[in-house]
Amino acid sequence: MKKRLYFISTLLLAMTALSLSSCLKDPRYVDFSKAGNVVNMPFSGQAYFGGDAITEAPADDENGTIVRQFSVNVATANPPTTDTKVTLAVDFSLVDSYNALGGAVHYEPMPSEAYSFTTTEVTVPSGKQYAVTSVTFYKNLLDPSKSYMLPIKIASTTGGYTISGNLGVHYYHFIGNDFAGAYLWDYTRIPAAGNFVGETTTLFPVTPTQFEMNSGYFTQTIRYEVTFTKNSDGTYSDFAVDLNADDIQNILVANGLTLVKHPVLVNYDPTHKYTYDEVVHGLLKLNWTTATRDITDYFYKP
C-alpha cells in the first residue's frame, strides 16, 4: 500500500507537469486553450480531499519527515509572456469551515512546529504554465491520536488572473488513529505460494476508529477494513473486519474467485476489552477463505 500510494502521488505530479493539465471544474484534465485566465493547484480542493491525506511512511529520522510536492498552474490559452508570481498562504480559518460541514473526522489546526512551509511565493516563469513547490511535515511531532489539518491556499497572484474557486486550496491532513502506522507482516496461503514472514507494511487511517491494510493474497491489492470502539478507560472493543466491498467485486468476483468465508480476527474475544499492547501484539491476525485458498495475514509490532 505504501508503495502504491507513493507511486500514485508521483504519477499525478508527473502527469501534471508533463501535460500541463488543469482541473477547473469536474473534469480531471482541461485543455489550457479553453481554460480562460485562471491560477489553480491541480488535484486540490474538497473534490480531491482524499488525495491530500498524509498517509505515506515518514523518513527514518528523529522528526518523521514527510515532503509533499505540488504544482501551481497558470491556466491560459497561451503561455504567459512575463513571470507570474503566485503567493501561497496557510489559512487555518478553513479548518473551522471544513469542520462545520459535519464530516466524520474533526480536525485541529496543525501545530507550527509540525510543518515547514517557507516558499510561499512561487514564480511561474515566462513561457511556462506551471511551477512546483513543496511543504514538509514532521509526523513524529504530532499526537497520533488526534487529527490535524494544514490548509494551503492561493492568496494572490500577479497578472490579473482569477484564482480558482474550487482548486485553490490544498487541505493537507493527518487522521488520528491509535493503530495507524508501520507494522511487521506475516502472510500464509494454503496451498502455499508467496508466503513470507517479517515484511513491513502500513496500516492506514480511514477515521479515528477505522483503518485499512492490504492482504498479501492475489496480484492486485485487496484491502481489509477494520473498525473498533475506543472506550473511556483507554481500552478497545467491538472490533469488526471485512474485505473492502469494492475490492470484493472488482478483484475477487471480476476474476472468478468465490469468497467462502469473510475475514475474522483469529484470536478475537468479543467480551474482552483490549489494551493497545494486546491489539498490536496478537489481535491483528486475520483469516479468510476462497473456494480454493485459505489466507492468513498477521500484522504486529516488534
Domain ranges of the chain: 2-174, 181-300
Look over the chain and give the mean of its residue pLDDT values, rounded to a whole number. Answer: 89
pLDDT at 182: 83
Mean pLDDT, residues 260-268: 98
Going by CATH, does the domain composed of 2-174 fall within 3.30.70.270? Answer: no
Asked if residue 87 lies in contact with residue 121, where contact means CB atoms within 8 angstroms, the answer is yes
pLDDT classification of 24: cutoffs 50, 70, 90? very low
> Which positions ≥6 away from 85 have C-beta within 8 Å?
121, 122, 123, 124, 157, 158
- pLDDT tens for each residue of 193-228: 999 999 999 898 889 999 999 999 998 899 999 999
- pLDDT tens for each residue of 51-68: 999 988 789 899 999 999
Give 160: exposed, middle or buried? Use CB within 10 Å, 0-12, 13-18, 19+.
exposed
Tell me if the pTM is above 0.85: no
Asked if residue 206 lies in contact with residue 62, where contact means CB atoms within 8 angstroms, the answer is no
Mean pLDDT, residues 120-144: 96
User: What burial letters (b/e) apply to 232-258, b meaning 16+ CB within 10 Å?
Assistant: eeeebeebebbbbeebbeebbeeeebe
